[in-house]
Amino acid sequence: MRHRGTFTSWWDTPEWRAKNVEVNRLLPREFPELADEYEREVVSTGSEDDGPMVVYSLVFHPFLKHAVLTEPTDSPLLERIFAFLKMLEDHPDSRYSEVATVEVAEFLEHEPEILKPAYSRLGPKVRAVIEEP
């Protein structure tokens, strides 16, 4: 998109940034225990509209890793986490689904100690991404 003779990236439009905020705010809404960490991240970056890939990698990944490694397999917290990932995966808006199928899948690919216990609870789209050659 061109605007007044300068190049503006499609990810830097007001609509795109508003969607970032929407997707990012899912974390403290669905996981109130992440609200403080989310706020710290917003303060440190100076913006709530950073891309979900940034926010989820800094806030959700450590939370996911800790839960998978320390919670019993039948814990309500793990149930909430995997239900959340499934909701993201199945969301009709690709901005939501890509958080699960790109950001979380790539994270898990590089974390074999949590991929193994988490794998069977992942949705089919996330598993398909992980299994890609």
CA 30 to chain centre: 12
Average pLDDT over residues 13-34: 88
Question: 11-25, 42-56, 66-80 — which one is most confidently predicted on average?
Answer: 66-80
What does the CA dihedral 23, 24, 30, 31 come to, rounded to 10 degrees?
A: 160
pTM listed for this prediction: 0.84
Give the pLDDT of residue 63.
Answer: 97
Calculate what percentage of the chain has a pLDDT beyond 70.
90
Integer Cα distance of 126 and 115 in angstroms: 11
Backbone phi, then psi, for 122, in 5-degree steps? -80, 155
H or E, element range at 7: strand 6-7
CA distances (Å), origin 82, targets 70, 91, 119: 15, 14, 10
Query: Where in the chain are the domains?
Result: 2-131
Handedness of CA 15, 20, 92, 34 (dihedral sign): negative
pLDDT digits (tens, 9 = 90+) for 77-110: 999 999 999 999 999 988 889 899 999 999 999 9
Cβ atoms within 10 Å, residue 9: 8
Give the pLDDT of residue 16.
Answer: 74
